[in-house]
Amino acid sequence: MASRSVNKVILVGHLGRDAETKFTPGGAARTSFSVATSRRWKDQQTGDWKEETDWANITLWRSENLAPYLLKGKQVYVEGRLRTRSYEDKDGKKVYATEVVAEEVILLGGRGGDQGPGGSGGDDYQQPASMPRSAPRPAAQPAQVDDSPFNQGITDDDVPF
């Protein structure tokens, strides 16, 4: 009997540190960074808001260096797969490490006044840092303003999930 399995991770969070890129002898870039994802909920007994943050270590294999774009605090979309590996530390103890091997990383949101690499800042265009090789790159689109009566100034921080 053939069995099926799925190993897929999708994260939207903020970079916890600037990305670091190292190159293999063959010239492939290995970029490493961490992403923080948080969830908020209201404690049913106390009525207080609680928050929990999880950290994920991300590895991205590409031929180009994306570290200049992946800076601490930036919001990113990461899609990839989980990989757990083990090794022995200096004391001979077996250590397990789980990471996300990214297949797609996209910078989210505008860059504000940030004068990041390759841009003049100030626009709300979602700059893709990396896309699947088969996907065409989208053309820049102007930011849309929501003038509908349903726009009540609710931000992502107001949503409990």
CATH code for position 47: 2.40.50.140
> Does residue 55 sit within a domain?
yes
pLDDT digits (tens, 9 = 90+) for 38-68: 999 898 999 899 999 999 999 999 867 888 8
- Rg of the chain taking only CA atoms, in angstroms: 19
> Does residue 111 sit within a domain?
yes
Using the CB atoms, write b or e for 19-45: b if 16+ within 10 Å: bebeeeeeeebebbbbbeeeeeeeeee
What is the structure's pLDDT at 24?
87
- How many distinct structural domains can be found in the chain? 1
> Does residue 139 sit within a domain?
no
Q: Which of 27, 146, 127 is nearest to 68 (CA)?
A: 127
- 158: helix, strand or coil: helix
Tell if the pTM clears 0.75, that is, is over it.
no
pLDDT digits (tens, 9 = 90+) for 107-160: 997 554 444 444 434 344 344 445 444 444 444 444 454 554 544 555 656 555
pLDDT digits (tens, 9 = 90+) for 78-89: 999 999 999 999
> Does residue 26 sit within a domain?
yes
